[in-house]
Amino acid sequence: MDKRWVIKERADAKVTKQLSQELGISEVITELLIHREIDTFEKAKKFFRPELSHLHNPFLMKDMDKAVMRLEDAIQKKQNILVYGDYDVDGTTSVAMVYSFLKTFHNNVSYYIPDRYKEGYGISIAGIDFASDNDISLVIALDCGIKAIDKINYANTKNIDFIICDHHRPGNELPKAIAVLDPKRSDCEYPFKELSGCGVGFKLVQAYVQKNNINFSEITSLLDFVAVSIAADIVPIVDENRVLAHYGLKQLNNNPRKGFKAIIELAGLKKEITINDIVFGFAPRINAAGRMESGNSAVQLLISDSDYGAEKSGAGIDSVNTERRTVDTAITAEAMSMVEEDASFTNKKSTVLFNSQWHKGVLGIVASRLIEKYYRPTIILTESNGFATGSARSVKNFDVYNAIETCSDLLDQFGGHKYAAGLSLKIENLDAFKAKFENVVSETIDVNSLVPEIEVDATIAFDDIDAKFFRVLNQFAPFGPGNMAPVFISENIYDKGNVRIVGNKHLKMGLLQQNKKRGFGAIAFGQSDHYTAIAARQSFTSCFTIEENSWNGTTTLQLNVKDIRIEES
């Protein structure tokens, strides 16, 4: 699939030169900072040296005082507390974190993860009945609840109080809970709006220790949960999330809890854990539990306090993840066949597919796979409890949540973010929804958003890339949305004669640049179609990120090639 290269505008030369001199770094790297709105020495210091003191005061969040007061009351009166969360990574890490914190000083605490298939997403009637049957006085709902108007009304009739910790977009009405913590509330002046669900839960914990004069160091060990949620939920790694991810990764690498240690071993991760490792190594395994069976097993793994228990839970989840891969591969193939057989597909700007037999737990993954191939807003649905239920994923710069909200008259319920959402509707409304959603997307999407984009930070010569350059570049991590690994362009490059295809569709190369001394090894995933031209020593322009590659005890810099454009002869 062709890709658009969008090259960022050059920063003001005078500003770049001055900041470069103040920081003692190259102008290329200085320009990367300016692109990230870091244009002073103090901002750069804060960026390169995140401190826990940079975290915002949790009491700036609307209702935080009410939440802490109710939690203190429950603890003082020794009431039963239920920690309730969604079944995905953000939800299960949230539950494990808050449960682990409370369990250290309050015995009357338990947790609950709703069954994806019997109860669906978020707070459920069954969950509230469970709380009622077990004499629960307070429920802390994490990563869900912001739209649970009727469910909270039901809980109130049972004299069950709720503290809601959510980060999804609220509707026009807020649930009548004791406290509703959500930085996206229109009346909330909290300075950072993009926390994960686990991040909101951490702010509650932070507020509790702050109010009760407990040393902050008592909760820093919980930050590994937050880092995993940030990576898995694909929230921007900027501002407060950058600090939380930075220290969470430190915890994960230096002293991982037993559950995470088991995942590290199962995933075969033998180097320093990065955000990417969490996305591709941790998240699929933790998610698999909720997708295929029950999110409870993920929480059991994450709160395990013995090596044996963690290894046993981890092995079970790993086995479930293997099953998940088999299922999502089969459904993805079926979905792609449906697309290819649709004669009108080439004229559409969206993809909406339904099959009553598809496994509900993998629909989000399948939607993402279809976007990789066809690159358009995608909704994948199956039948569950008599409704068409599923997941939506989007392309860059298109708000799929807004598009779904425009179709709300045809929906039973929906919720989510700009790039990912869940929804359910009556099966008889399916055709009308498909037509309306396609119409909304067609009328609102920019045509450029239907072509994958590579955002390029700067043009660079191979001779500019040395150990010091990479060392400073590496301090931009942790990388993720809002702070992606910098992408560079180099022109007039060619293979030195040993290009080969690996894994059937990837290129392994040794690259040189015309009139430059330095050369680099390179990997280009999924770009074997360029093999003939490159093997013929044709020069090309490439955009790439820079990474380390370790092989046989030797570590070298390697270019991870994102796209190739063969230059005209």
Q: What is the pLDDT of residues 226-246, one digit of tens each?
A: 999 999 988 999 999 999 999
Band (pLDDT 50/70/90 cuts) for residue 431 is very high
- Containing 512, the helix (H) or strand (E) segment is strand 506-513
pLDDT of residue 103: 96
**Mind listing the pLDDT tens digit for each residue in 185-220?**
999 999 999 999 999 999 999 999 999 999 999 999
Mean pLDDT of 131-160: 97
Q: Is the pLDDT of residue 311 over 70?
A: yes
Q: Is the pLDDT of residue 291 over 80?
A: no
Evaluate whether 480 touches 495 at the Cβ level (below 8 Å). no
Q: Is the pLDDT of residue 569 over 70?
A: no
Evaluate whether 421 touches 399 at the Cβ level (below 8 Å). no
Mean pLDDT of 525-537: 95
Percent of residues, the chain, with pLDDT higher than 70: 99
Evaluate whether 81 touches 140 at the Cβ level (below 8 Å). yes
Mean pLDDT of 319-342: 92
pLDDT of residue 568: 76
**Mind listing the pLDDT tens digit for each residue in 397-422?**
999 999 999 999 999 989 888 888 99
Distance of alpha carbon 438 from alpha carbon 350, whole angstroms = 6
Residue 10: φ, ψ to 5° = -65, 140
pLDDT of residue 363: 93
Q: Alpha helix locations (H) across 342-426?
A: 363-374, 400-406
- 395 token code pair: 């392309």
Distance of alpha carbon 498 from alpha carbon 509, whole angstroms = 6
Q: Is the pLDDT of residue 293 over 80?
A: no
Mean pLDDT of 54-67: 98
pLDDT of residue 361: 85
Q: DSSP label at 480?
A: B
**Mind listing the pLDDT tens digit for each residue in 260-285?**
999 999 888 878 899 999 998 888 89
Q: Is the pLDDT of residue 249 over 70?
A: yes
Mean pLDDT of 472-498: 94
The rounded mean pLDDT for the chain is: 94
Contacts of 467 (CB under 8 A, 6+ apart): 557
In one letter, which amino acid is 232? A
If you count them, how many residues does the chain have? Answer: 569
Bigger pLDDT: 439 vs 321: 439
Q: DSSP label at 109?
A: E
**Mind listing the pLDDT tens digit for each residue in 90-142?**
999 999 999 999 999 999 999 999 988 788 788 999 999 999 999 999 999 99
> Domains (ranges, CATH) in the chain?
58-255 (3.90.1640.30), 342-450 (3.10.310.30), 453-566 (2.40.50.460)
pLDDT of residue 290: 74
Distance of alpha carbon 84 from alpha carbon 162, whole angstroms = 10
**Mind listing the pLDDT tens digit for each residue in 348-390?**
999 999 999 999 889 999 999 999 999 999 999 999 889 999 9
**Mind listing the pLDDT tens digit for each residue in 336-351?**
999 999 988 889 999 9
Mean pLDDT of 43-52: 96
Instruction: Map residue 161 onto helix, strand or coil.
Output: strand
pLDDT of residue 119: 83
Q: Is the pLDDT of residue 164 over 80?
A: yes
